């Protein structure tokens, strides 16, 4: 029986479980980052009185190391707000916060790239500012920033390995468990790296293909 079979193949159930948790944490964090990023971006651009608050939050989320944020959400927030009450929640909140800071800036760049004339064409046919935003500005922005959004998801996947530190049973934690049982790290960690590479590659390829498909459908050049 080879080491690969003994240490990796026979433990595949545990590794898949870990991957499932990784995917779950990342998916929730990603959803939070999109909603939070859009909110921060819109407040920053359009809600004058709250603009400094939004800028401060965006900068804070972007400038603090993800590990510090994770510790901060996991240990400080429960003291301050009585939440989050599970490690799992603390994990996706921290990941989501950081990415929402980055996505807020991505969205802003995308919104600013929508030609002013496209908005004015909306106003000139009598659309309200809200309608112009929802029907013209946001869809065009999404079209431009789709590749960056996909990229941000891969950042989340890679950062998500840190949630193992607060005992969220993700792929990384399961891998380290196996390492610590037999003290034979080579095969397990190599396999783990390969799984992360495979996952990131799959997501970014599929995401890019989808974004390009949309652009081509509209007759636009691939991004």
Partner 1 sequence: MDAIPAIRVVDLRKNFGALEVLRGVSFDVHRGSVVSMIGASGSGKSTLLRCINRLETPSAGEVFIDGEPMGGPVTANGERKERPLSDINRMRRDLGMVFQQFNLWPHMTVIGNVIEAPLRVRRMKRKAAIALAEECLARVHLSEKGTEYPARLSGGQMQRVAIARALAMQPKAMLFDEPTSSLDPELTDEVLTVMRELAADGTTMIVVTHEMAFARDASDRVLFLHNGQIEEEGPPDQVFGAPKSERCRQFLSKKLQ
Binding site for partner 1 (CB under 8 A): 115, 117-118, 120-129, 131, 135-136, 139-140, 143, 217-220
CB 144 within 8 A of CB 110: yes
Which residue number, 49 or 117, has a Cβ lying nearer to partner 1?
A: 117
How crowded is residue 122: how many other Cβ atoms within 10 Å of its Cβ?
A: 18
Which residue number, 120 or 184, has a Cβ lying nearer to partner 1?
A: 120
Task: Give the whole-angstrom CA distance, residue 2 versus residue 29.
Answer: 38
Helix segments in 64-115, DSSP class H? 66-71, 77-81, 87-112
Burial track 166-186 (b if 16+ CB lie within 10 A, e otherwise)? bebbbbbbbbbebbeeeeeee
Minimum distance, C-beta of residue 122 to partner 1, in the bound complex (Å): 8
Distances (CA, A) of 35 to 64, 153, 170: 20, 14, 24
Which residue number, 143 or 165, has a Cβ lying nearer to partner 1?
A: 143
Which residue number, 45 or 165, has a Cβ lying nearer to partner 1?
A: 45
């Amino acid at each position: 029986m080879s080491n690969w079979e003994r240490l990796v193949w026979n433990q595949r159930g545990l590794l898949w479980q870990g991957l499932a948790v990784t995917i779950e944490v990342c998916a929730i964090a990603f959803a939070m980052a999109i909603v939070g990023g859009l909110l921060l971006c819109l407040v920053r651009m359009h809600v004058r009185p709250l603009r400094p608050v939004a800028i401060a939050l965006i900068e804070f989320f972007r400038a603090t190391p993800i590990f510090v944020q994770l510790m901060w959400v996991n240990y400080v927030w429960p003291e301050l707000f009585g939440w989050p009450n599970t490690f799992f929640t603390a994990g996706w909140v921290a990941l989501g916060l950081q990415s929402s800071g980055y996505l807020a800036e991505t969205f802003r760049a995308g919104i600013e790239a929508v030609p002013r004339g496209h908005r004015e064409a909306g106003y000139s046919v009598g659309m309200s500012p809200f309608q112009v935003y929802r029907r013209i500005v946001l869809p065009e922005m999404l079209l431009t920033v789709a590749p960056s959004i996909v990229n941000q998801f891969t950042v989340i996947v890679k950062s998500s390995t840190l949630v193992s530190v607060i005992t969220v049973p993700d792929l990384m934690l399961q891998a380290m468990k196996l390492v610590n049982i037999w003290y034979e790290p080579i095969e397990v960690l190599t396999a783990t790296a390969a799984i992360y590479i495979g996952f990131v590659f799959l997501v970014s390829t599929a995401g890019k293909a989808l974004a390009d498909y949309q652009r081509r459908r509209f007759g636009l050049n691939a991004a």
